[in-house]
């Protein structure tokens, strides 16, 4: 996907460690005002396993919408091939995600932590920003 020339914000999720049950990374903003740790399901080269596979690398539009499942506004990734309702939300381990991206303030090989605070920080940062995209590498 090519970004529009007037896109004011690009988030970058850099996958830093691929483990058998989870993928760890760092989510940062181009303006250096945001840096959070991430946890996703396993990156798979083969067929998708529902609820246990990370989304494909690529660039996706992000918008804040109300999540009926989580009962609060959360970032939603738009048009992820083979996936629906991919959110960025709080959680600690791969048991807390079904293809979504979890965020935390700290991280080790088992998970991300201070996740609720990280989610609140992310939502506050993205609120009222038009044309937000995330690049996953």
Judged by DSSP in three states, 25 sits in strand
Residue 107 contacts residue 24 (beta carbons within 8 Å): yes
Surface-to-core class of residue 71, CB atoms within 10 Å of its CB (0-12 exposed, 13-18 middle, 19+ buried): exposed
User: Domains in the chain: how many in total?
Assistant: 1
Q: Which domain holds residue 102?
A: 9-136
pLDDT in tens, 99-108: 999 999 999 9
Quick check: is 2 in a domain? no
1 assigned to some structural domain: no
pTM beyond 0.75: yes
Q: Determine, yes or no, domain membership for 23.
A: yes
Return the pLDDT at 2.
56
**Average pLDDT of span 30-35:** 90
Is residue 115 assigned to a domain?
yes
Whether 127 maps to a domain, the answer reads: yes
Q: What is the band of 66 on the pLDDT scale with cuts at 50, 70, 90?
A: very high
Q: Is residue 3 part of a domain?
A: no
* Cα separation, 90 vs 113, whole angstroms: 9
Residue 85 covered by a domain: yes
């Amino acid at each position: 996907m090519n970004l529009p020339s007037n896109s004011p914000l690009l988030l970058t999720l850099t996958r830093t460690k691929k483990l058998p049950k989870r993928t760890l990374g760092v989510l940062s903003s181009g303006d250096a005002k945001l840096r959070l740790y991430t946890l996703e399901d396993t990156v798979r080269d083969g067929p998708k396993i529902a609820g246990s596979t990370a989304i494909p690398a690529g660039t996706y539009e992000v918008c804040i919408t109300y999540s009926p499942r989580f009962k609060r506004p959360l970032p939603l990734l738009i048009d992820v091939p083979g996936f629906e309702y991919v959110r960025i939300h709080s959680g600690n381990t791969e048991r807390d995600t079904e293809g979504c991206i979890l965020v935390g303030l700290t991280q080790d090989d088992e998970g991300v932590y201070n996740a609720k605070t990280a989610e609140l920080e992310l939502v506050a940062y993205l609120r009222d920003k038009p044309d937000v995209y995330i690049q996953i590498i």
